[in-house]
Copies of this chain bind each other. A is one copy, B any other.
Amino acid sequence: MKTCWLDERIAYDGSQLRAHWILAKTGLAGDAAVAFRGPCGVTDTEMADLEDLGGPGIAADDMVHLIWECFSTTDLWLAVHRQRLLSAQAAEVIRHLQSDVVVVRDGDDLYVGKGKLSISIATVSPVSTLWHFAVNASPGGAPVATATLEQIGVEPREFGERLLRRIADEQDSMTIARAKVRAKGEWGA
């Protein structure tokens, strides 16, 4: 799995969560995740989570975005598991950087106090699984009460780069773990 921090500011509008967007943007072919900074404003037609349709909207002025595409499966069930794990990983990265901050995971969202720190979605394309995960970098532009990396003293790019490394490392460690497991049979046999 390849990862890359993109220095360019990119305005995330949902159209980036698309098969081969990473390939077209960066030339990285194969399972890959990229992260970048930029505003967020997802249009209705690009909303992958129907829960959000007709809601307050998905918007913020300044976020750290992570987009991940994986071609080895199109299984949405696996993708949803990985999305939850991704949220847990993001919380762990924050705790590592600021050990006194209390970050709580609720499903695929992270909260600091009552402020919503992150947004997230997992979806599928005909040839891949796709994730978008983003945390607020600095305040402004969101339709709900938010928390931000600025408020908890976490540097946005450092967070983004560490999260990229974290998910790549854990994918590797899961691949090795899977290869060391014996199957188990039936009782009485």
The residues of A with any CB-CB pair to B shorter than 8 Å are: 15, 17-21, 23-24, 29-31, 45-51, 71-78, 80-82, 84-85, 88, 92, 99, 102, 104-105, 107-108, 121-128, 130, 170, 173-189
Q: So how many copies of this chain end up in the complex?
A: 6
A126/B183 in contact, CB under 8 A:
yes
Interface of A is mostly: mixed
> Which 8 pairs, one residue from A and one from B, show the smallest C-beta to C-beta distance?
A126-B183, A88-B88, A50-B180, A81-B81, A30-B179, A71-B179, A80-B174, A19-B186
Nearest chain B residue, comparing its CB with the CB of A108: B177
Distance of A71 from chain B, by nearest CB (Å): 5
**Among B17, B88, B130, which residue has its beta carbon within 8 angstroms of that of A85?**
B88
Complex-state Cα separation, A50 to B29, whole angstroms: 10
